[in-house]
Structure 1
Protein backbone atom coordinates (compact mmCIF):
# COMPACT_ATOMS: atom_id res chain seq x y z
CA UNK A 1 0.00 0.00 0.00
CA UNK A 2 2.55 2.64 0.99
CA UNK A 3 5.07 1.51 -1.61
CA UNK A 4 2.82 3.50 -3.91
CA UNK A 5 3.23 6.57 -1.69
CA UNK A 6 7.01 6.04 -1.47
CA UNK A 7 7.14 5.98 -5.27
CA UNK A 8 4.99 9.12 -5.48
CA UNK A 9 7.21 11.03 -3.02
CA UNK A 10 10.45 10.24 -4.83
CA UNK A 11 9.16 10.49 -8.38
CA UNK A 12 7.37 13.79 -7.79
CA UNK A 13 10.63 15.37 -6.65
CA UNK A 14 12.62 13.73 -9.46
CA UNK A 15 10.12 14.83 -12.13
CA UNK A 16 10.00 18.44 -10.96
CA UNK A 17 13.80 18.70 -10.87
CA UNK A 18 14.25 17.04 -14.29
CA UNK A 19 11.69 19.35 -15.92
CA UNK A 20 13.22 22.49 -14.36
CA UNK A 21 16.81 21.54 -15.18
CA UNK A 22 18.56 23.30 -18.07
CA UNK A 23 18.55 21.45 -20.33
CA UNK A 24 15.50 19.55 -19.12
CA UNK A 25 15.73 15.77 -18.83
CA UNK A 26 12.97 13.35 -19.70
CA UNK A 27 12.29 10.58 -17.20
CA UNK A 28 11.12 7.09 -18.11
CA UNK A 29 9.11 5.63 -15.26
CA UNK A 30 8.11 2.00 -14.84
CA UNK A 31 5.25 0.75 -17.01
CA UNK A 32 4.68 4.16 -18.63
CA UNK A 33 5.00 4.61 -22.42
CA UNK A 34 8.24 6.38 -23.30
CA UNK A 35 10.15 7.24 -26.46
CA UNK A 36 13.84 7.81 -25.69
CA UNK A 37 15.18 11.18 -26.87
CA UNK A 38 18.41 11.55 -28.84
CA UNK A 39 20.29 12.95 -25.82
CA UNK A 40 20.53 12.04 -22.16
CA UNK A 41 17.52 10.94 -20.12
CA UNK A 42 16.70 9.15 -16.88
CA UNK A 43 14.99 5.86 -16.01
CA UNK A 44 13.50 5.48 -12.52
CA UNK A 45 12.95 2.22 -10.62
CA UNK A 46 11.47 1.60 -7.17
CA UNK A 47 12.95 -1.55 -5.61
CA UNK A 48 10.98 -2.08 -2.40
CA UNK A 49 12.24 -4.30 0.40
CA UNK A 50 9.99 -6.47 2.53
CA UNK A 51 7.54 -4.49 4.67
CA UNK A 52 8.15 -4.98 8.38
CA UNK A 53 6.49 -4.10 11.69
CA UNK A 54 8.27 -3.17 14.93
CA UNK A 55 5.42 -3.22 17.45
CA UNK A 56 3.51 -6.00 19.15
CA UNK A 57 0.13 -4.52 18.24
CA UNK A 58 0.94 -4.75 14.54
CA UNK A 59 0.01 -1.12 13.85
CA UNK A 60 3.48 -0.02 12.74
CA UNK A 61 4.69 -0.53 9.17
CA UNK A 62 8.19 0.13 7.90
CA UNK A 63 8.46 0.60 4.16
CA UNK A 64 12.01 0.64 2.86
CA UNK A 65 13.96 -0.11 -0.25
CA UNK A 66 16.19 1.29 -2.93
CA UNK A 67 15.34 3.86 -5.56
CA UNK A 68 17.50 3.62 -8.67
CA UNK A 69 17.86 6.25 -11.35
CA UNK A 70 19.68 5.07 -14.45
CA UNK A 71 21.35 8.00 -16.17
CA UNK A 72 21.28 7.16 -19.87
CA UNK A 73 23.70 9.16 -22.03
CA UNK A 74 24.80 8.95 -25.66
CA UNK A 75 27.33 6.23 -26.43
CA UNK A 76 30.96 7.11 -27.23
CA UNK A 77 30.78 10.58 -25.65
CA UNK A 78 32.72 9.71 -22.48
CA UNK A 79 31.35 9.30 -18.97
CA UNK A 80 31.52 12.96 -17.95
CA UNK A 81 27.98 14.05 -18.79
CA UNK A 82 26.36 11.03 -17.10
CA UNK A 83 28.60 11.37 -14.05
CA UNK A 84 27.72 15.07 -13.83
CA UNK A 85 24.02 14.23 -13.77
CA UNK A 86 24.75 11.61 -11.08
CA UNK A 87 26.37 14.36 -8.98
CA UNK A 88 23.26 16.53 -9.45
CA UNK A 89 21.08 13.65 -8.23
CA UNK A 90 23.24 13.40 -5.09
CA UNK A 91 22.42 17.06 -4.41
CA UNK A 92 18.72 16.50 -5.16
CA UNK A 93 18.41 13.59 -2.71
CA UNK A 94 20.75 14.39 0.22
CA UNK A 95 21.23 12.01 3.14
CA UNK A 96 18.48 12.36 5.78
CA UNK A 97 16.23 14.46 3.53
CA UNK A 98 12.55 14.00 4.31
CA UNK A 99 10.02 14.06 1.51
CA UNK A 100 6.37 14.36 2.47
CA UNK A 101 3.28 13.48 0.49
CA UNK A 102 -0.23 13.23 1.95
CA UNK A 103 -0.26 10.15 4.18
CA UNK A 104 3.50 9.53 4.32
CA UNK A 105 6.88 11.06 5.11
CA UNK A 106 9.83 9.28 3.55
CA UNK A 107 13.47 9.70 4.57
CA UNK A 108 16.61 9.18 2.48
CA UNK A 109 18.77 6.90 4.68
CA UNK A 110 21.94 6.44 2.59
CA UNK A 111 23.98 8.81 0.47
CA UNK A 112 23.33 8.69 -3.26
CA UNK A 113 25.81 6.30 -4.85
CA UNK A 114 26.78 6.06 -8.51
CA UNK A 115 27.90 2.64 -9.73
CA UNK A 116 30.26 1.89 -12.59
CA UNK A 117 28.85 3.05 -15.91
CA UNK A 118 28.43 0.53 -18.69
CA UNK A 119 27.51 0.69 -22.36
CA UNK A 120 24.63 -1.10 -23.99
CA UNK A 121 24.15 -1.21 -27.78
CA UNK A 122 23.20 2.49 -28.08
CA UNK A 123 23.85 4.22 -24.72
CA UNK A 124 26.19 4.63 -21.78
CA UNK A 125 24.32 3.99 -18.52
CA UNK A 126 25.32 5.05 -15.02
CA UNK A 127 23.15 3.50 -12.27
CA UNK A 128 22.58 5.88 -9.35
CA UNK A 129 20.77 4.73 -6.21
CA UNK A 130 19.88 5.49 -2.60
CA UNK A 131 17.98 3.74 0.17
CA UNK A 132 14.80 5.15 1.67
CA UNK A 133 12.57 4.39 4.63
CA UNK A 134 9.08 5.43 5.67
CA UNK A 135 7.25 4.49 8.87
CA UNK A 136 3.50 4.54 9.40
CA UNK A 137 1.38 3.79 12.45
Structure 2
Protein backbone atom coordinates (compact mmCIF):
# COMPACT_ATOMS: atom_id res chain seq x y z
CA UNK A 1 0.00 0.00 0.00
CA UNK A 2 1.49 3.33 -1.01
CA UNK A 3 -0.66 5.83 0.86
CA UNK A 4 2.21 5.79 3.35
CA UNK A 5 4.65 6.88 0.62
CA UNK A 6 2.27 9.55 -0.67
CA UNK A 7 2.03 10.97 2.84
CA UNK A 8 5.80 10.84 3.28
CA UNK A 9 6.45 12.65 -0.01
CA UNK A 10 3.99 15.44 0.77
CA UNK A 11 4.83 15.85 4.44
CA UNK A 12 8.59 15.87 3.82
CA UNK A 13 8.18 18.82 1.44
CA UNK A 14 5.76 20.56 3.81
CA UNK A 15 8.03 20.08 6.85
CA UNK A 16 11.13 21.40 5.08
CA UNK A 17 9.27 24.52 3.93
CA UNK A 18 7.63 25.15 7.33
CA UNK A 19 10.95 24.85 9.19
CA UNK A 20 12.77 27.17 6.77
CA UNK A 21 10.02 29.80 6.79
CA UNK A 22 10.31 32.99 8.85
CA UNK A 23 8.69 32.69 11.25
CA UNK A 24 8.83 28.90 11.21
CA UNK A 25 5.51 27.06 11.50
CA UNK A 26 4.94 23.93 13.54
CA UNK A 27 2.81 21.17 12.04
CA UNK A 28 0.29 18.99 13.83
CA UNK A 29 0.33 15.63 12.04
CA UNK A 30 -2.36 12.98 12.26
CA UNK A 31 -2.16 10.78 15.37
CA UNK A 32 0.91 12.61 16.72
CA UNK A 33 0.77 14.42 20.06
CA UNK A 34 0.70 18.19 19.58
CA UNK A 35 -0.05 20.99 22.02
CA UNK A 36 -0.35 24.46 20.49
CA UNK A 37 1.22 27.39 22.28
CA UNK A 38 -1.20 30.15 23.22
CA UNK A 39 -1.34 32.68 20.36
CA UNK A 40 0.59 30.41 17.95
CA UNK A 41 -0.17 30.06 14.24
CA UNK A 42 0.44 26.48 13.10
CA UNK A 43 -0.55 23.94 10.46
CA UNK A 44 -2.54 20.68 10.62
CA UNK A 45 -1.99 18.12 7.87
CA UNK A 46 -4.42 15.39 6.75
CA UNK A 47 -4.14 12.72 4.06
CA UNK A 48 -7.61 11.91 2.71
CA UNK A 49 -7.12 8.95 0.35
CA UNK A 50 -9.75 7.80 -2.13
CA UNK A 51 -10.24 4.13 -3.00
CA UNK A 52 -7.22 2.54 -4.68
CA UNK A 53 -7.88 1.72 -8.34
CA UNK A 54 -6.35 -0.43 -11.07
CA UNK A 55 -6.36 0.37 -14.78
CA UNK A 56 -5.11 -2.90 -16.27
CA UNK A 57 -6.67 -6.30 -16.83
CA UNK A 58 -3.70 -8.09 -15.26
CA UNK A 59 -4.35 -6.34 -11.95
CA UNK A 60 -0.76 -5.18 -11.54
CA UNK A 61 -1.35 -1.43 -11.88
CA UNK A 62 -2.41 0.62 -8.86
CA UNK A 63 -3.55 4.22 -8.84
CA UNK A 64 -3.61 6.11 -5.56
CA UNK A 65 -5.70 9.27 -5.55
CA UNK A 66 -6.90 11.56 -2.87
CA UNK A 67 -6.72 14.95 -1.25
CA UNK A 68 -4.13 16.39 1.08
CA UNK A 69 -5.54 19.08 3.35
CA UNK A 70 -3.52 21.59 5.33
CA UNK A 71 -5.41 23.64 7.89
CA UNK A 72 -3.81 26.97 8.72
CA UNK A 73 -4.75 27.62 12.36
CA UNK A 74 -4.32 31.10 13.83
CA UNK A 75 -5.49 32.96 16.92
CA UNK A 76 -8.89 34.57 16.55
CA UNK A 77 -9.17 38.33 16.14
CA UNK A 78 -6.22 38.93 13.79
CA UNK A 79 -8.25 39.05 10.57
CA UNK A 80 -7.87 36.68 7.62
CA UNK A 81 -4.90 38.41 5.94
CA UNK A 82 -2.07 36.48 7.61
CA UNK A 83 -3.63 33.04 7.08
CA UNK A 84 -4.53 33.93 3.49
CA UNK A 85 -0.86 34.82 2.95
CA UNK A 86 0.17 31.40 4.26
CA UNK A 87 -2.44 29.81 1.98
CA UNK A 88 -0.83 31.60 -0.98
CA UNK A 89 2.58 30.27 0.09
CA UNK A 90 1.16 26.73 0.24
CA UNK A 91 -0.29 27.13 -3.27
CA UNK A 92 3.21 28.05 -4.47
CA UNK A 93 4.75 25.14 -2.54
CA UNK A 94 2.35 22.59 -4.11
CA UNK A 95 1.82 23.81 -7.70
CA UNK A 96 -0.20 21.94 -10.30
CA UNK A 97 1.77 19.03 -11.80
CA UNK A 98 4.43 19.06 -9.06
CA UNK A 99 6.06 15.62 -8.81
CA UNK A 100 7.39 14.48 -5.44
CA UNK A 101 9.51 11.32 -5.31
CA UNK A 102 10.40 9.32 -2.23
CA UNK A 103 11.91 5.80 -2.19
CA UNK A 104 11.41 5.51 -5.97
CA UNK A 105 7.69 6.31 -5.67
CA UNK A 106 6.30 9.46 -7.32
CA UNK A 107 3.16 11.36 -6.34
CA UNK A 108 1.87 14.22 -8.47
CA UNK A 109 -0.31 17.22 -7.64
CA UNK A 110 -3.24 17.00 -10.08
CA UNK A 111 -5.34 19.98 -8.94
CA UNK A 112 -4.11 23.37 -7.73
CA UNK A 113 -3.88 23.99 -3.99
CA UNK A 114 -6.97 25.99 -3.10
CA UNK A 115 -8.20 27.65 0.08
CA UNK A 116 -11.77 26.95 1.15
CA UNK A 117 -14.03 28.96 3.45
CA UNK A 118 -12.40 29.66 6.79
CA UNK A 119 -14.12 29.10 10.10
CA UNK A 120 -13.65 30.02 13.71
CA UNK A 121 -14.35 28.78 17.19
CA UNK A 122 -13.83 30.51 20.55
CA UNK A 123 -10.06 30.84 20.16
CA UNK A 124 -8.92 30.02 16.60
CA UNK A 125 -9.54 30.85 12.97
CA UNK A 126 -8.95 27.91 10.59
CA UNK A 127 -8.41 28.22 6.84
CA UNK A 128 -8.34 24.86 5.01
CA UNK A 129 -6.07 24.57 1.98
CA UNK A 130 -6.19 21.37 -0.09
CA UNK A 131 -4.98 19.83 -3.33
CA UNK A 132 -5.61 16.58 -5.15
CA UNK A 133 -2.83 14.06 -5.78
CA UNK A 134 -2.31 10.94 -7.85
CA UNK A 135 0.34 8.21 -7.84
CA UNK A 136 0.61 5.22 -10.16
CA UNK A 137 2.54 1.98 -9.63
CA UNK A 138 2.90 -1.29 -11.52
TM-score range for the pair, normalised by the shorter chain length:
over 0.9
Residue 103 of structure 1, CA deviation: 3.3
What CA deviation, in whole Å up to 9, does each residue of 1:16-39 have, x standing for no partner? 000000000000000001011232
Alignment of 1:9-48 (within 5 A): 9-37=9-37, 38-48=39-49
What TM-score, normalized by structure 1, do the two folds share? 0.98
Q: Distance between the aligned counterparts of 2:115 and 2:46, measured in 1? A: 15
Q: Distance between the aligned counterparts of 2:123 and 2:117, measured in 1? A: 17
The structure 1 segments of at least 4 consecutive aligned residues displaced by more than 4 Å after TM superposition are none
Matched, 1:70 2:76: no
What TM-score, normalized by structure 2, do the two folds share? 0.98
Q: Distance between the aligned counterparts of 1:82 and 1:73, measured in 2? A: 7
Q: Paired residue for 1:80?
A: 81
* Alignment gaps of 5+ in structure 1: none
Q: Distance between the aligned counterparts of 1:29 and 1:52, measured in 2? A: 26
- Structure 1 vs Structure 2 CA RMSD: 0.6
SS of residue paired to 2:65: strand
Residue 117 of structure 1, CA deviation: 0.9
Alignment of 1:52-67 (within 5 A): 52-67=53-68
Matched, 1:100 2:110: no
* Alignment gaps of 5+ in structure 2: none
